[in-house]
Amino acid sequence: MRVALKFAYDGKNFSGYARQPGQRTIEQALLDLLIDREILGDAKTSYFRTASRTDQGVSALGNVCAFDIVCSKEKIFRQLTTETSDIFIYGAQQVEPGFYPRHAKQREYRYYLRRNDLDVDALLSAAGLFIGEHNFQNFARVEPLKNPIRTINNIIIAEKKDFLILDFYAQTFLWNQIRRIVSALEKRGNGVLSNEQIRDALEHPDMKVDFQVAAPEPLILKDVIYDFSFEYVKDYKKNLQIFENRIVGLL
């Protein structure tokens, strides 16, 4: 049987996501937790895979992993009802054999940008430039042979206390894409960039520009969406809110 789990973590307390020798990473801590609770034997034989490998410092409220198990889904829930200090596993669902969590329907990211003296209207007008299909060569760290064309379905911006909350919605994102977009938006809000400069960078990807990269700590993988629903532990929404508040409180 193959199972998908939904989990949250505070990325600031790890040396990145992927396993690295001698480093405390999210993936290794998650595997250690699952092995310790006798839910899986090892990553290789269980075909362990993750939806998104977030950058160092980035947190998550709804990342997803999947692996093959021999125990029941009920046993998983009995084993995963306790929140750990840095990783919180709160959802599970049986999935088809061979299910690969990277093939998601949609990903949702959230960035907490300090408002300071930003011109919010200018920032909002620039955010609209990124919605739709674009070549994001100038707004991502594009790996060799990687297609730089992506579609952002929506960007929703809200104000909360000292922050602007920027929510990004797309099926897939490129490496550093959101953080580079946020950096450009912040510069637009500060009056350093114009909409015309941002538009030119999108429409002329061959014209290399660098609007720099925003800090990773305020970025949160909010959710990963599929064509099925998860079953959740009791009070998971309340616990997720506490988790998010803790992450934001350290910014």
Q: Is 99 helix (H, G, I), strand (E, B) or coil?
A: coil
Is-catalytic flag, 55? yes
The gap from C-alpha 144 to its chain's centroid, in whole angstroms, comes to 22
Task: Please give the helix or strand (H or E) that residue 36 lies within, else none.
Answer: helix 26-36
Q: Which residues contact 117 (CB under 8 A, 6 or more apart)?
A: 190
CA atoms within 13 A on the CB side of 54: 36
- Give bridge partners of residue 65 from the DSSP assignment: 5, 50
- Give bridge partners of residue 150 from the DSSP assignment: 134
Please pick, among 42, 55, 121, 200, the residue that the annotation labels catalytic. Answer: 55
- The residues annotated as belonging to the active site are 55
